[in-house]
A and B are shown apart, each in its own frame.
Chain A
Amino acid sequence: MSRSIGGKMLRSPLVVVTMVILTWFTAAFLLWPNLNLLVETFFPSGQFSGRAVEKLLSSDRAMKSLGNSFLLAVVLAVTLFVMTFATTTNHLLFLGNAIRAAGPQAHPLRRFFAVLFVMTFATTTNHLLFLGNAIRDVDYQTIEAARNMGASAWTILRRVVLPVLKPTLFAVTILSFLTGLGALSAPQVLGGEEFQTITPMILTFANTSTSRDIAALLAIILGVATIAMLAVMTRLERGGTYYSVTKVSAPLQKQRIASPLANAVVHAAAYLLFLIYASPLVLILLYSFMDGAAISTGVLTLERFTLENYARVLSQESALRPFIVSIVYSGLAAVITVGGLLFVTRILQKYRTRITGTFEYLLHIPWILPAAMIALGLVMTYDRPNPLLGGLVLSGTTVILLVS
């Protein structure tokens, strides 16, 4: 059966060409850079070496960043449970900036809380998206049935609703943990020297050739932690029925809060959250119309109103260039990925063999491994001529950014 499918595949020139390109792409950009990262870290001169581990253990900064990352990951997973009712954007970095601005020599704990605060609000979207959908999938009639049998609100929550949400709760917790572990922008902007985490440290160590092995080892630790957490998540999802067994489940209905006090508290909390989420956007918009002095002092006045920021960003090449580069890269990456995958997914779906199945798994590598590890693997592999790319050097070129 499998052989006949393979025969059919070989009869189509388009399939053959696509499979050849896919094989090359997978080997050159998904497999070899990550394998090479392992080789360069543990077999730098062809033989096993624990030098990278020794260097990592003796580096205070690196060890501290590891500790900070795991601390951030654990606390973030907890704090996100508290904040699941609003949306947010990366603009919340601004609010973190405001916190940091409380003092240039801010205490490391203060910096930790600044990073945690921003990341909590910036990643609430994950919780909102996944948990919101899971809550919507709870069959309301199961709640009514439990109520009809005399169950209290607490019993219903504990024995009827939470078991259904269990896999999603685990999934979002793990995703939050991984987000905290691989955090880049928030620790970089707000953490400063006192609160460094793995990913910014990978970038720092990767800049010098003598400490690249530490960067590689940090990236591997990040990758192993990610894979381990995903494995835990998959294991937890198995062996239980968490979805409604009915063909058509009844949608959840809004509940009236009977206690006036509870009603007031819930409403106050909701408005407060709205304020927290909306204020960075509003403030950023307002500050975008203020001059430098107003921004640095944090004082908003009508006299400081200006359109100069917009004029500068839209007219100066140096200011406009990052936007254009981002847009062009994003556009190109989207077009190439979608265009390529149109052919690839068609083939993988049409011809179900062990080979196509393996390719399907391999294409998930970017999803499983952290971006920092993939980027470092690419940089370390293609900083010298490589036969997989016909002897080309990619590091330092604009192509490698597009590839990653």
Chain B
Amino acid sequence: MSEELELTPEQKKARDQRSKAIGLGLLGFVILVFVVTVFRKMQEMGLESAG
């Protein structure tokens, strides 16, 4: 049996802000990994064409 948790308005507001921050953080991480992958690939291709 799970107990229903009643959040206070302050807790709800804080949770919403944390959720947004987690969402933005994860999205930022995906973008960073994408950017790193693109630039590393470009570097590799540049090295190959130079060699």
Partners in one complex: no
Chain B: residues with CB nearer than 8 A to chain A? none
